[in-house]
Amino acid sequence: MATTMPRADDAATSAALAALVKELGQENVLVSEEELREYRDPYDYKGSDEYTGSAVVTPRLVEDVQSIVRVANEFRVPLWTFSTGRNFAYGGAAPRVRGSIQVSFREMNRVLEVDDELAYAVVEPGVRFFDLYDHLRAGGYRLWPSIPDLGWGSIVGNTLDSGRGYTPYGDHPTTQCGLEVVLANGELLRTGMGGMSASKSWHLFRESYGPNHSGLFFQSNLGIVTKMGVWLMRAPEVYVSGWATWRDEGASAAVVDTLRELMFEGVIRNYPLVGYGVPTENGRDPSNGGWMVRFALYGREKLVQALHEIVSEALLAIPGVELGRREYRGDDERSAATVHDDKVQGGVPGLELIEWFKELHGEDAGHLDLSSIGPLSGADVVETIRLRREMSERHGVPYTAGIVLLPRTALHICALIFDTNNEEQTRTAYDNYGKMVVELAQAGYPVYRTNIQHMDLVAEQFDFNDHAQRRLNEKLKDLLDPNGILSPGKQGIWPQGMRPARP
Amino acid sequence: MATTMPRADDAATSAALAALVKELGQENVLVSEEELREYRDPYDYKGSDEYTGSAVVTPRLVEDVQSIVRVANEFRVPLWTFSTGRNFAYGGAAPRVRGSIQVSFREMNRVLEVDDELAYAVVEPGVRFFDLYDHLRAGGYRLWPSIPDLGWGSIVGNTLDSGRGYTPYGDHPTTQCGLEVVLANGELLRTGMGGMSASKSWHLFRESYGPNHSGLFFQSNLGIVTKMGVWLMRAPEVYVSGWATWRDEGASAAVVDTLRELMFEGVIRNYPLVGYGVPTENGRDPSNGGWMVRFALYGREKLVQALHEIVSEALLAIPGVELGRREYRGDDERSAATVHDDKVQGGVPGLELIEWFKELHGEDAGHLDLSSIGPLSGADVVETIRLRREMSERHGVPYTAGIVLLPRTALHICALIFDTNNEEQTRTAYDNYGKMVVELAQAGYPVYRTNIQHMDLVAEQFDFNDHAQRRLNEKLKDLLDPNGILSPGKQGIWPQGMRPARP
C-alpha cells in the first residue's frame, strides 16, 4: 500500500510548535489527539496512524502564512498545506510525512471581491463552493459559480488540483486568473498582470509579461497560494438540464462522438458526464447496466429552444437513445433545483453524492477514485470501458464509471469502494488501485490526480526521457524550497535528502 | 532608445561557429553580411547595426537544436532563437546581444500530425499560418486554424509570444496543448500528458500531473520549444462576418458593454476588434474619426440567423450604430474571402495589413506596437481611449487604435509609425514609446508584449514586491541556464553576469 514514509523530527517539531504558538496564538495551533482526528485521511484504514500530523495551524492572514514558513525554515520541519481538507478520495487533509505540521486554510475564508460587470471573484483558499454561492446569492449578483460534485470543498483547493465542474466554466484550471503565492522563503508573488502594483487586470488576463508562473502552483509544493481570482458565468435567462439514456453499450461510441461534435460547434458549452452504475434521478436504472449522459444548455429562451432541437435531433438519431429535460427560468427557479444533476450543471452546490454513498455503502465506507485521461473519441471511450471493466473484474472490483467529457479528452473516473474498518479490504483496494494505475499507463491512459498513498507511483508512470518532468520538478523544488519545508512528497516531488532510492 | 547592450565575445563566437559548421553543415550556418541583413530588426533605424547577430543557424531536427545548445554551452556564446522572425513590430529576428548566434526555425517547418476527429495539429516552430492553412485545405480536413493579422508568422512563435487570433480559437496561449522543449542543458522535456511515453493525450489535455511547466516557455528564454500541439476549430456550416459602425465616440462605451455581454452569453464566441483610424473595407471612413467593430458568428444556418438577430437587436439599440454583414456557406466560399476582416475571422491567412501599411506609409516605414491590457468595461475603454489620445497628442503621435475584445480585457494596440531611413524620427518614436509605457503603467495598464528595445523597461514596470516576478525569473534562469546561452535579455531576463545595474 505504501513504502515506508519519512517522519518529521519530534524535537524540532516541538520547538517549531512553541514558536508558532507565539506567532499565531494558542487558538490557532491545534495539537490534541481529538482535534487532530478530523485531519487524518478519512479513507485510510481506521486503525492506521501512518498519515497523521503533529498539529494543525490555522493562518488568518497572509502574514500568518509568512510566519509559518519562516518558522518551518528555522526549525527545518515539514508543513502540509490544504485548503479545507475535504478532498476525501485523494487523502483529505492528511500529510505524506508523518508528524508534519498541517496548515489549514479553513479560517482564511473571505470572498475578497466580486465584480458583477466583469464577472469574477477573488477568494481566499478557505472559501468553499457553498460560501461563494451564498455570497453571490446574498449580494444579488448576476453570476454563477462553477462547482464540482460536492459543495463543501475549497474553490482554490479544487482548482489547484486541476478539478472540474459542470457548467461552461467547469474547466477550473482555465477559469482561474491571478494567483497570490507565498514562496518557501516567505516572499510574496503575484502572477500575471498582478506583477504590476497598479494593474487593473490581475484577475482579468491570464498571461504574463515573460514566463507564466501560475502553472507552477498546480498540484504543487513550490509555494502556498493565498488568493485566487476566479471567473464566473453570467446568469442565463433559461437553463435546461438535459439527459439521454440507453441500454445497449454499443450506442456509447455514437453518443460520445455526437456530443463531441456538439461541443466543438458550441451548441453544448458545458462539460457532459456519462454515467454507468452510479446513482442519478434521471430514469437510469443502475442495477441493469443502463447508461446515461447529462448535459445542459444556457441562454435566452428562443436560443435555448433552438439549441435543444439540434441536440435532440442528433442524439435521437442513435438507436435506443431516449431523452429527458428539465427547464429552469430565472435565478430563483434554478436555485431551488433539488436534483443533483440539475444542481451541479446550474452551479448550485450540494452534498448529494456523499449522502448517497453513505446510504449505499455505510458510514465507514471509503473510496479511491481512479481518474485517467483518454481521447474524446467514441471508439477510444468504448475501448477504455472494455479495458476498465476487464481490469476491474480481474481485481474483483465492481465496475462503475463517471466519464466527464472535456473538450478533447474523456476523464474516466471509477471508484474503488471498501470498508475502512476492515484492514484487509482497505489494503486490497489500495493495492488494486496501484496495479490499475500501472496497467492504465501501459495502455496510454495517464492518471492525472491521485491520493497521497499513490503519488510516487503515478509520478513514476511519467517516464518520458527518464522522467524528465520529475527531474525538472526536483530541480525547481531544490531551488525554491531548499529546506524542503513545503508539503514534501506531494505529487511525488520530494526535497533533497528525502528522495526515495530509485532503480 | 536603448542602454548599451552586451556583446558576444568574437573569438568564442568564431570557435563556436566552426564547431556548428561541423555539426550542422556549412549550408545551415549563414555568415555573410548579405545573408544576415534579412535577420536584422526591420524597424530599427536603417543605419544602425546595434541589434545584429554574427550568424544564423538553421536546425532541421530536434537533435540539431540539442547540438546547438551543446556548442553554445561549450563556448559560452549567446543564442537568440526565433521561429520565422516575422514579428516585425517587436524586433523580427534580431537579438538583444550584439553578435549572438541567431537560431532560425525556418527549416523546421513540418506539420507533424493532423487529427481530424479530435481537431488538433502538431507543428514545428517554422510552420507558418499560411502553411497550416494550406495543409488543412489540401488534406480536405474539416478544420480551421486561428490566424493573426499577418499569415507569414510562425504559429509557435505567435503563440509563445501570447499572440491572438480572431476566431473562437483566437486565444492562442489557451488553444496550444502539449509542448516539446529543449532545455539549456540539451535535455528534452515534454509538457503535460506528454510526460508519459505511451500517453494518448499529450495534445489533448492541458494540465499536468504535478506542476504545469508549459507557462515557463512563454515569452521566455528558459528553453527552446521544438514541437507544439494546437487545437483547431471544426469548420462551421455557415460563417457570418459582421460589423457595426458609429461616428459618435460616446457610443463606444455602450458598444463595448453590449459586446462583452454577448460574449459572456456565448452568442459571440470569437474575439471582436474595435478599430479607429485604421483601414478596413467595412464602410468606416478612417479620415473622419469613425469607429467600427467587427465580430463573427459560426454554426448551422438556423442557429446563426438566430444569433444574428440577437446581436443586431442589441447593437441597434445604441443610437447611431449601423450594421453590416457578409455570409459564407461551406468551406470553399469562406476560403475565397478577399476582405481582410472576413479572412482573419474565418481563419484564412493573408498579408493585407502589411501591404496597406506600405501603401500608406512607404516601403521603408516602420512601426512599434504599443499593446496594453485594461478591463473590458465600456467606461474603462473610453477612459483608456481618452488617455491614449492625450498621450499620443502630447508626444506628437497620431492616434489610431485597434482594440481586441478578450473575455475580460480590452487589448489596446496603437502603432507608432516612422521612417526607418530617418534616424531622428526613428529614435523619437522609440523614445515616445518608452515614455508611454511608463505612463500607461502608472495608470494601471500593463504592456503585455514588446519589442527588443523596450524589454527591460517593460519588465521594470512589473514592480509588485520589489519586482518579485523578475527576481523569480532570474532565479529560474540561473537554475535552468547557468551559462546564460539562451536568448539573454529576452523580456528583460538576463543571466548572471549580464544583469544591468539597478537602483
A94-146 confidence digits (pLDDT tens): 999 999 999 999 999 999 999 999 999 999 999 999 999 999 999 999 999 99
Cβ atoms < 10 Å from Cβ of B390: 12
- Report pLDDT for B400: 85
| C-alpha B439 chain-centroid distance | 23
Nearest CA in chain B to A267: B299
- φ, ψ at B4 (rounded to 5°): -65, 130
Closest-CA distance of chain A to residue B228, Å:
16
Kindly list the residues from chain A whose CB atom is less than 8 angstroms away from the CB atom of residue B177: 408
- Is 0.95 topped by the overall pTM? yes
Q: In what order do the strands lie in the sheet with B273-276?
A: B322-329, B238-246, B291-299, B273-276, B401-405, B409-419, B365-375
A 200-219 near B (Cβ less than 8 A)? 200-201, 204-219
B441-483 confidence digits (pLDDT tens): 999 999 999 999 999 999 999 999 999 999 999 999 999 999 9
For A373, the closest of B188, B193, B471 (CB atoms) is B193
For B215, the closest of A194, A214, A463 (CB atoms) is A214
- Report pLDDT for A155: 98
Kindly list the residues from chain A whose CB atom is less than 8 angstroms away from the CB atom of residue B462: 195-196, 209-210
A222–B299 C-beta distance less than 8 A: no
Residues A438/A407, Cβ–Cβ less than 8 Å: no
B169-214 confidence digits (pLDDT tens): 999 999 999 999 999 999 999 999 999 999 999 999 999 999 999 9
What average pLDDT does range B382-400 have in this prediction? Answer: 92
- Report pLDDT for A23: 97
Residue A414: which H helix or E strand, with range? strand A409-419
| C-alpha B254 chain-centroid distance | 29
A190-206 confidence digits (pLDDT tens): 999 999 999 999 999 99
Q: Does B144 touch chain A (CB under 8 A)?
A: no
Kindly list the residues from chain A whose CB atom is less than 8 angstroms away from the CB atom of residue B449: 209
- Report pLDDT for B281: 61
Residue in the block written with cell 487593473: A200
Closest-CA distance of chain A to residue B433, Å:
17
Is this complex's ipTM strictly greater than 0.90? yes
Residues A454/A63, Cβ–Cβ less than 8 Å: no
pLDDT band at residue B250 using 50, 70 and 90 as cut-offs? confident
Q: Does A473 touch chain B (CB under 8 A)?
A: yes
Q: Does A234 touch chain B (CB under 8 A)?
A: yes
Say how far apart CA B322 and CA B29 lie, in whole Å. Answer: 55
For B187, the closest of A205, A458, A468 (CB atoms) is A468
CA angle A396-A398-A401, nearest 5°?
135
- Report pLDDT for B286: 47
- Report pLDDT for B47: 87
B 279-338 near A (Cβ less than 8 A)? 298-300, 302-303, 306-307, 310
Q: Say if residue A279's pLDDT is above 60.
A: no
Closest CA to B457 of B444, B438, B474: B438
Kindly list the residues from chain B whose CB atom is less than 8 angstroms away from the CB atom of residue A264: 119, 233-234
Cβ atoms < 10 Å from Cβ of B193: 28
Residue in the block written with cell 517522519: A7
A90 is known as an active-site residue:
yes
pLDDT band at residue B2 using 50, 70 and 90 as cut-offs? very low
- Report pLDDT for B322: 94
- Report pLDDT for A2: 44
Kindly list the residues from chain B whose CB atom is less than 8 angstroms away from the CB atom of residue A468: 187-190, 195
For B198, the closest of A191, A303, A441 (CB atoms) is A441
pLDDT mean across residues, chain A: 95
Cβ atoms < 10 Å from Cβ of A198: 14
B9-39 confidence digits (pLDDT tens): 999 999 999 999 999 999 999 999 999 999 9
Closest CA to A285 of A276, A293, A272: A276
pLDDT band at residue A289 using 50, 70 and 90 as cut-offs? low
DSSP letter assigned to residue A173: H
B286-299 confidence digits (pLDDT tens): 445 689 999 999 99
B306–A409 C-beta distance less than 8 A: no
Integer-rounded Cα Rg, in Å, for chain B is 23
A266–B463 C-beta distance less than 8 A: no
Q: In what order do the strands lie in the sheet with A322-329?
A: A322-329, A238-246, A291-299, A273-276, A401-405, A409-419, A365-375
Residues A68/A103, Cβ–Cβ less than 8 Å: yes
A449 is known as an active-site residue:
yes
Kindly list the residues from chain B whose CB atom is less than 8 angstroms away from the CB atom of residue A184: none
* Least-confidence region, from A122-131, A454-463, B396-405: B396-405
Residue type, B245: T
Q: Say if residue A356's pLDDT is above 50.
A: yes
* From A51, A90, A133, A166, the catalytic residue: A90
Proportion of chain B above pLDDT 90, given as a percent: 90
